[in-house]
Amino acid sequence: MDNYPEMPAPDRTLAPEINNRLIHDELNYNVDILAEEHRKLMSTMSVEQRRVYDTIMNRVDDKKPGLFFLYGYGGTGKTYIWRSLAAAIRSRGEIVIAVASSGIAALLIAGGRTAHSRFNIPIIIHESSSCTITQDSDLATLIARAKLIIWDEAPMLHKHCFEAVDRAFRDILRTYNNGRLDIPFGGKVVVLGGDFRQILPVIP
Q: Is the Cβ–Cβ distance between 192 and 82 less than 8 Å? A: no
Q: CB-based contacts of 35: which residues, under 8 Å, 6+ apart?
A: 87, 91
Domain that holds residue 148: 21-199
Name 114's Cβ contacts closer than 8 Å, sequence gap at least 6: 99, 100, 101, 102, 103, 106
Task: Please give the tally of structural domains in the chain.
Answer: 1
pLDDT digits (tens, 9 = 90+) for 81-122: 999 999 999 999 999 999 999 999 899 888 999 999 999 999
Residue 38 in domain: yes
Q: How far is CA 149 from CA 3, 13, 16, 27, 97, in A?
A: 43, 28, 23, 15, 5
Q: Is residue 31 part of a domain?
A: yes
- 156: helix, coil or strand? helix
In a domain, 59, yes or no: yes
Question: 50 vs 7, 56, 84, 167, CA distance in Å?
Answer: 53, 10, 10, 32
Check residue 65 and give its pLDDT: 94
Lowest pLDDT segment from 5-9, 56-60, 95-99, 181-185: 5-9
H-helix segments, 18-158? 21-26, 31-43, 47-61, 78-90, 103-107, 115-119, 138-145
As a whole number of angstroms, the distance between CA 3 and CA 38 comes to 46
- Asked if the model's pLDDT at residue 17 lies above 60, the reply is no
Distance from C-alpha of 189 to C-alpha of 94, rounded to nearest angstrom:
14
Region 179-184 average pLDDT: 89
pLDDT averaged over every residue in the chain = 90
How much is the average pLDDT of 36-49? 95
Indicate if the pLDDT at residue 9 is higher than 80.
no
pTM: 0.86
Q: Is residue 3 part of a domain?
A: no
CATH of the domain at 128: 3.40.50
**Is 96 inside any structural domain?**
yes
The answer to whether residue 180 sits within a structural domain is yes
Per-residue pLDDT of 44-89, as tens digits, reads: 999 999 999 999 999 999 999 999 999 988 888 899 999 999 999 9
User: How far apart (Å, rounded) are the C-alpha atoms in residues 165 and 186?
Assistant: 10
**5 is a domain residue:** no
Residue 10 lies in a domain: no
Angle in degrees, CA 200, 109, 93, rounded to 5: 140
